Chain A
């Protein structure tokens, strides 16, 4: 069974600084997808970024980028130029490729990020 581990329950960063959130996962699959979701105080889950395991190039979405290390089963999220609106719980999630209709997302327990003014 796949598991996702986020070892940092809470983190803090100053506005305009850069912060990296860690995520590791365990799987015997070779092809899969990894995601970072953001859950602000409104509790709406928002997709931040996606990475396909077969792609070596790290995904980037504006100020958000990932460092995907397949051999190490590591998938960290870097937030550059942090903004107050980035304050949220961040969840790392795994999805097995070819999971048929399920396409089940397996979530980590989250990292609460606080951006300080």
Chain B
């Protein structure tokens, strides 16, 4: 069965510091991968998606970037965090055809101070 991991689970970082969040998927190959952000009391917003190694598409212009160095690894980064980057970050993998279901990791709670 497929499993998706995220770390760290919780992170507190000062403004201006760098960020690296990691997501890995097990049990499937060449998955579509997604980074979402959930602000407090709100739904999820898609930040980035990837259909393969080195292939990244951005949905929202912002202070963040993403990379996919390996087939089942997806990384969310920032060179300098802003207060507005605080939130809950969720990685997901998608089954694609025919059901288009997406399954989420446990998430990372990021607080920028």
Contacts and interface: CB of A to CB of B under 8 A. Distances in A.
Given A91-B44, A110-B43, A104 B59 contact: yes
A16 interface: no
A95 B51 contact: no
Contacts, number: 57
Main secondary structure of the interface of B (DSSP, over half): strand
A109 B43 contact: yes
B52 to A, nearest CB: 9
Contact of B51 (A43, A47, A93, A101): A101
Contacts of A97: 100
Contacts of A107: 43-45
A47 B103 contact: yes
Interface of B: 32, 36, 41-46, 49, 51, 57, 59, 88, 90, 92, 94, 96, 99-107, 109
